[in-house]
Amino acid sequence: MEASAASLGDRETLKRFLVQVRTLLERVAADPHDLFKAELRPLVAAAWAELVAEQRFESLARAIDSGEYEQGMIEHGLGGAQLEFKVATFDQSLAAVRADERKRFFTKRRLRRSVPAALEAADVTADSVAAVFPPAAAVTEFKKAAQAAIAKREVIKDFVRGLNPFRGGRQHAAELVRSTE
- Condensed to tens digits (0 to 9), the pLDDT of residues 28-76 reads 998 877 888 888 999 999 999 999 999 999 999 999 999 899 899 999 9
Q: What is the mean pLDDT of the chain?
A: 83
Structural contact between residues 101 and 107, judged by C-beta atoms closer than 8 angstroms: yes
Model pLDDT, residue 108: 77
Cβ neighbors of 127 (< 8 A, separation 6 or more) are: 140
- Condensed to tens digits (0 to 9), the pLDDT of residues 84-113 reads 999 999 999 999 999 988 886 767 778 888
Q: Is the dihedral of CA 113, 116, 118, 121 positive or negative?
A: negative
Mean pLDDT of 164-177: 51
- Burial of 17: CB neighbours in 10 Å, binned 0-12, 13-18, 19+: buried
Structural contact between residues 6 and 70, judged by C-beta atoms closer than 8 angstroms: yes
Q: Give the distance, in angstroms, between the CA of residue 26 and the centroid of all CA atoms in the same chain.
A: 11
- Condensed to tens digits (0 to 9), the pLDDT of residues 1-32 reads 344 556 888 999 999 999 999 999 998 998 87
- Condensed to tens digits (0 to 9), the pLDDT of residues 115-138 reads 888 999 999 899 999 999 988 999
The pTM (predicted TM-score) of the whole model is 0.78
